[in-house]
Amino acid sequence: MKRHFDADLEDLRGRLLRMGGLCEEMIHAAVKLVVERDEAHLTAVEDWERQVNRLHLEIDDVCLKLIALHQPAAGDLRLIAAALKINSDLERVGDQAVNIAETGVFLCKEPHIKLGDIPRMVEVAAGMLKDALDSFSRGDVELAREVIRRDDEEDRLKSQTFNELVHLMQRDASAIQRGMDVILIARNLERIADHATNIAEDVIFMVLGKDIRHPAEQRASEGPTATA
């Protein structure tokens, strides 16, 4: 039974990493569509989305069966709990990539517009997701923490892109719709970085058993330190 359980855990890890790899491919293809103004990339994104959605259902089913059949404890239970949450985040990353591709299709039909910091946002978000998945694969807490720190850069880039496009739309009313589309793409990239951050937080929980979400609320719940 223990051998079967360990094999099932490895299968779970493999499915999650395969799903993550598909999401990475979706991000790069979606942004290629926007940058190269080539709608042909949409087909690949949609094909990968179907695979991601199928894995999403399969992974949930595997996790629930592992809990029901083996009643895991301690580290194994944390791994399965983290896998359930990572599975959900990856499914949402796939949705964000589809949103970028579909918005890009509209932009392909319009005159060119400057994309601001979108190329750098892609680099940061995709890098965060890759490293978050690597931290999960290796149980690397330090890499997970480094992913979390990089989220601030993505937020800064999104704000810069937003401000640049708002100024453009104020100067040129004909650019308003296109500007809003690019802002939407920036927002989707920011959300991908947020999902990568969530995955990194789940890795820390999986390895250390420590929940680092909402630190301010955790400190408040602990109350003031007693004094003599």
Instruction: Please give the average per-residue pLDDT across 91-119, as a whole number.
Output: 95
Amino acid 211: pLDDT: 85
pLDDT band at 223 (very low <50, low <70, confident <90, very high): low
Has residue 134 got a pLDDT over 50? yes
The answer to whether residues 161 and 186 touch, using CB atoms and an 8 Å cutoff, is yes
CB 45 within 8 A of CB 101: yes
Q: Which pair of structure tokens corresponds to residue 120?
A: 């750098």
**What is the DSSP secondary-structure string of 139-196?**
T-HHHHHHHHHHHHHHHHHHHHHHHHHHHHHHH-GGGHHHHHHHHHHHHHHHHHHHHH
Q: What's residue 4's pLDDT?
A: 84
Residue 227: pLDDT band by 50, 70, 90 thresholds?
A: very low
Nearest to 158 by CA among 192, 205, 112, 113: 192
pLDDT for 218 equals 55
Cβ 49 vs Cβ 106: under 8 Å? no
Instruction: Show the beta-strand stretches assigned E in the chain.
Output: none
Domains, in order of start, for the chain:
2-212 (1.20.58.220)
- Give the three-state DSSP class for 225: coil
Whether the per-residue pLDDT at 9 is higher than 70: the answer is: yes
Torsion 95-49-19-65 (CA) sign = positive
> 219 pLDDT band (50/70/90 cuts)?
low
What is the percent of the chain where pLDDT is above 70? 93
182 by Cβ neighbours in 10 Å (0-12 / 13-18 / 19+) ranks as buried
Q: What is the pLDDT of residue 47?
A: 97
CA distances (Å), 220 to each of 1, 202, 213, in order?
Answer: 44, 22, 13
* 12-69 confidence digits (pLDDT tens): 999 999 999 999 999 999 999 999 999 999 999 999 999 999 999 999 999 999 999 8
Q: pLDDT class for 108, splitting at 50, 70, 90?
A: very high
Rounded to two decimals, what is the model's pTM? 0.91
